[in-house]
Structures are given as C-alpha cells and as structure tokens.
Structure 1
Amino acid sequence: MHITLRQLQIFRAVAQCARVTAAAETLHISQPAASMALSELEKHLGPLFDRHQGSSLTLNDSGRALLPKACELMDRTAEIEAQFSGDASYRHGFLIVNASSTIGNNLMPYILGNFTDKNPDIRVEMTIENTHQIERRLLDFDIDMGVVEGISLHPDIEATPWSSDELVIVCPPNHPLANQRVNLSDLAQEHWILRESGSGTRALFDEIVAPGIGQPAIKMVLNRSEAIKEAVTEGQGLTCISALSVKRSIKKGNMGRIFVRDLKLQRHFYLLVHKQKYRSCILNRLFNFILQFPVQ
C-alpha cells in the first residue's frame, strides 16, 4: 500500500467542498487529476464517500474516520515545512478562526491585531458565524478554532472557558421604559428584534427571558448585532443583547437600557477546538494568547 500526502490533501479538500470540481479549484489542479488521485486512494482504503445525484459527495463512516487523521498529517507537514524554512522557527503559518457575533465584532479585531503585531509571520483569517455554524465547521475540520458565547455540548468538541459577558435589555432612547426598573412581565406587550435560532444570544433569550413574558412578539429576526442595534435605535422594538456590544451606544444616548428586576443573564465566552484536531505550535500560540488576553 502506498498512500501519498497529495492524495490525502485532495481527499481533505473533497470532504470540505463536497464536490471534486470545487476541490480541484481550491487546489489549483485539474478536475481529472483530482478524480484520479481520489480514485487511487480509494483503491487502497476502500470507498470513502457516498455518491449522490449531481456529483455531490458526503463522507461515509470510513471517510469520517480518515478525515481527522488526514488533517493532522497535513497540519504536521505544514509545521515541518515552517520549522525548516526561513529562521527555522514555529512562528510561520496560517490559521482559520470563526467567532460568534459579539466576540467577533467587539473583541477579536483588537485581540488579533495584538497577536499579529507580536507574531507577524502568522496570518489569521476570521469569519463571523453563529455558534451552531461554528460547531458544524469545527466538526468538518474546516476551521482551526472557534470563539463563542455559550458552551458547546458536542462530545467531539473541547470547550475552554475564557471570559464572561452579560446580556441586557435595551430599547429606543425615547421609549417610556428607557432607564427604568421593571418586572420581566412588564415587557410582555413589547415588540422584539432578535438574533436567529442557533446563536448563543438567542438561546439564552429563549431559555430565560421568553418564559417570563409568555409568547414574545417577535417583529424581526436579524443575524447581525449591528443590524439589530440599528433597528432598535430607529424605534423598531426591544432587544436582548450583549452589554459589550451596546456600551458605546448607551453612553452616546442612542439607546436606553431597561433594568429588569431579578434578571441575571450572565454567560461565558469559550474557545472551541475539535478534540481530534492536531494542536500545532501556532494554534497553541494563538489559543494561549487569547486565554491570557485581558478583556476590559
């Protein structure tokens, strides 16, 4: 049996893209070359994908077992190349990070800016997604690390607590309840602008706030905190949102806070990594940098 790194690289790309043509494009090779390499690998290991109509591919049990091992080999190969090139250090490389909305918009740009200042040869690409999407991408080995609000309970994902946050109820600045102290039941007739299902913020609202006001009158569902803040500022309704993301808006008078008696919406921030993910030196460097970074 002779398996090559190139075959495993193509296998990983096909697993992530779900199509041979798309995988070939990401690797800048021809589609026939990618198909041939995948075919040779499956001659050695047996079928790795279930074929579907329209050329779509999904991993079968064997493919799912191989994927973390193939990703580890690719990561270790990249690490070896980095160690023995240039200044022979482990400080070269590329990482893909997903962050949920609050962290991605309010903390990670500053944190990553500090990290890349200290590690100029490590490039980090960050995309903002909701917690459910980040979990999915971790499980598919599409990304190196996730940074989210709220814990992941998936058995294959390791969640490390990092910092904490508080959700608050905010309203338009001219709302009668702005800066007032009320009971949660007093908000039962209000209209709400909320995050989509799958976000950590929405999960906490549904778990703690919604039962106290009956059936919430949801006016809009938006998947970005900035869009929600704009809607609230324009008088469209109330929202439940991170105190971190509205601190400046409240200070400027663009929205008001409603103080709800006996309502505590504390949550933690977590770093997520697949348990079978190879922890390269540069991944550990970023992981530990975030853990030690002072959050104001």
Structure 2
Amino acid sequence: MHITLRQLEVFSEVLKSGSTTQASVVLSLSQSAVSAALADIEGQLGVKLFDRVGKRLVINEHGRLLYPKALALLEQASEIERLFSHDSGSLKIGASSTIGNYMLPAMIAGYRLDFPETPLELNVGNTDDVINAVADFRVDLGLIEGPCRMPELITQSWLDDELVVFGAPDNPLAGKNVTLEMLAAAPWILRERGSGTREVLDHLLLSQLPDFNLVMELGNSEAIKHAVRHGIGISCLSRRVISEQLSSGSLVEIRLPLPPLVRKLYLIHHRQKHISNALSRFLTYCKELV
C-alpha cells in the first residue's frame, strides 16, 4: 500500500467540497486528476469512501472513519513544512572555555533576540575537545582559542585576544619591572595541555622561559583565578577572563619585558558540513563582531 499525502489531500477536499469539480478548482488540479487520485486511494483501501448520489459525492461510514486520520496526517505534514520553511533547525555550537564561558553568553543572548525560533545548544570544552567534536559532526560550528591543523576542517580567523600575566596584589612581581629570569623563577599556575590558552602561551611566552617553575595545572579558568588570588602563584589568561578582577583590584597585571601577547581566535567547521541558513546566520553574526 502506497497512500500519498496528495491522495489524502484530494479525499479531504472532495469531502469538504462535495464534488470532484469544486475540489479540482481548490487544489489547482484537473477534474480527471482528482477523480484518478480518489479512485486510487479507494482501490488501495479496497472500499468506497463516498456514496455517489447523482452528481454528488456523499461521505459514507468508511470515509467518516478515514477523515480524522487523514486530517491529522495532513496537519503533521504542514507542521514539518513550517518547521523548515525558514530553516529554523537546531544549531549545535562547540566552544573552548574562554570563548564559551566569557564571550558566547552575551553573543547568544543577542542572537536569540534576533532569531528566537532557532534552538541553540552550546557545548564547552578545551580546544582539542571542540576540534574533535567538529571533526565527528557532533557540533555544527566550533569556536576555538588555538590553531587547528586538521585538513578536513575549514579554519577561519575570527578575533584578536590579548593574554595577560597576572598575580595577587601582594605578589612580589606586582608593580615591578620584571625580567625573563624573574618570570621563570616565579611559581606558575597554568591551564592544562590541550587547551588553546596553554598552547598559545607555550609558543608566545614559555618558550622563552625554558626552566620556568610550574607548580600547578588546572582545567578551569575560574579555579586558576582563585588560586592566584590566594597567592599560590602567577598565571596568564585572556584579558576578557580577568577584566572584572583587574578593574576591582583583586588581581593585578604583571608587565612583561615583551611585546603584547596577542593570539587569534578561530571559527571552524567541517569541509563536508552543509551550511544551513541557521548556521550561515550565526557565522554572519560572529563576523559582525570583528
């Protein structure tokens, strides 16, 4: 049995119109096409759905039994069409921790005001986690803090982000003209390997401090801020992450004998990923921030 939505639509309209002639006008079909569709569905069901009374079609017990089922199926089909008429399918975003925790909440709030019909899911992890999620099609788009070297992923430069070395207000390096030797001797608290912050910091700063004093690795920027505030050591995070603490004075910036530590943030998606209207809108929204 292969009953089609078009046949159910013809049946329903004939029921409402009372004739194949009127139904053909409403459906923009020929009368012969309407009659053929009605005959086909009756043939598949093995019953007559209407009693023929002169030129009129009067619904019978079989038609009355079918009508609510047909109407429900047609309404569900219309819901499916409406669901995707504006490409409002759900959007899954993966973001590394600095972006996901400190940048995306405000971005998503603004995006939701403009596109409230698009369900959006955010998954936060370190940069390696996000890259793997994009590669496995578990998320539609990744926003990361470190470079991506997977050839199957498209990487687009997005925003500049400044890294800041910081300590507690009473740290011995606070307010000093520090040297590389002083930095190497200080106790360091760093993000774990695999995070974008750590990879960029290894390249921009720690490569110049070959014997630096690493006392702790933590997988969370908030934990690092608290550890530094309690005097365990110094660290380096995005200025966006510690801006409130720098403003309040609970943490202080340590000036480096180096140029500013600036890294790129990136947008990544799979080369074979279909760029839906919903994803295209979010990409445009991100790029408007540049």
Q: Structure 1 length normalisation: TM-score?
A: 0.68
Measured at CA, do residues 82 and 250 of structure 1 come closer, stay the same or move farther in structure 2, by a change above 3 Å?
Answer: farther
Other-structure match for 2:151: 155
Mapped partners of 1:145, 1:101: distance in 2: 15
Other-structure match for 2:33: none
- Within the alignment, does 1:219 sit opposite 2:209 as a pair? no
Measured at CA, do residues 109 and 178 of structure 1 come closer, stay the same or move farther in structure 2, by a change above 3 Å?
Answer: same
| Structure 1 residues 208-241: Cα deviation after superposition (integer angstroms, max 9, x where no partner) | 3223222222211111111111111111101011
- Within the alignment, does 1:273 sit opposite 2:273 as a pair? no
Other-structure match for 2:287: 291
Other-structure match for 1:100: 96
Q: 2:195 aligned to 199, 218, 231, which one?
A: 199
Q: 1:167 aligned to 139, 163, 167, which one?
A: 163
Other-structure match for 2:86: 89
Mapped partners of 2:151, 2:78: distance in 1: 32
Q: What amino acid does structure 2 have at the position aligned with 1:194? A: L
Mapped partners of 1:81, 1:220: distance in 2: 58
- Checking the alignment, whether the CA contact within 8 Å between 1:150 and 1:269 is kept in structure 2 is yes
Deviation, 1:151, is 2.4
Deviation, 1:96, is 1.0
Mapped partners of 1:249, 1:206: distance in 2: 24
Q: State the SS of the aligned residue for 1:260.
A: coil
Q: 1:230 aligned to 226, 229, 243, which one?
A: 226
Structure 1, unaligned runs of 5 or more = 1-79
Mapped partners of 2:224, 2:192: distance in 1: 11
Deviation, 1:272, is 0.7
- Within the alignment, does 1:120 sit opposite 2:116 as a pair? yes
- Checking the alignment, whether the CA contact within 8 Å between 2:83 and 2:89 is kept in structure 1 is no
Q: What amino acid does structure 1 have at the position aligned with 2:173? A: L
Alignment: residue pair count: 214
- Checking the alignment, whether the CA contact within 8 Å between 1:149 and 1:270 is kept in structure 2 is yes
Q: State the SS of the aligned residue for 1:219.
A: strand
Q: Percent identity?
A: 33
Measured at CA, do residues 134 and 248 of structure 1 come closer, stay the same or move farther in structure 2, by a change above 3 Å?
Answer: same
- Within the alignment, does 1:243 sit opposite 2:222 as a pair? no
- Alignment of structure 1 residues 24-103 onto 2, 5 Å: 84-85=81-82, 88-90=85-87, 92-103=88-99
RMSD: 1.9
Q: Structure 2 length normalisation: TM-score?
A: 0.70
Mapped partners of 1:81, 1:293: distance in 2: 37
Mapped partners of 1:107, 1:81: distance in 2: 38
Mapped partners of 1:186, 1:217: distance in 2: 10
| Structure exhibiting the larger radius of gyration computed from Cα positions | 2
Measured at CA, do residues 149 and 82 of structure 1 come closer, stay the same or move farther in structure 2, by a change above 3 Å?
Answer: farther
Mapped partners of 1:161, 1:232: distance in 2: 31
Mapped partners of 1:81, 1:261: distance in 2: 65
Deviation, 1:87, is 8.7
- Checking the alignment, whether the CA contact within 8 Å between 1:82 and 1:89 is kept in structure 2 is no
Deviation, 1:264, is 2.9
Deviation, 1:153, is 1.8
- Checking the alignment, whether the CA contact within 8 Å between 1:82 and 1:93 is kept in structure 2 is no
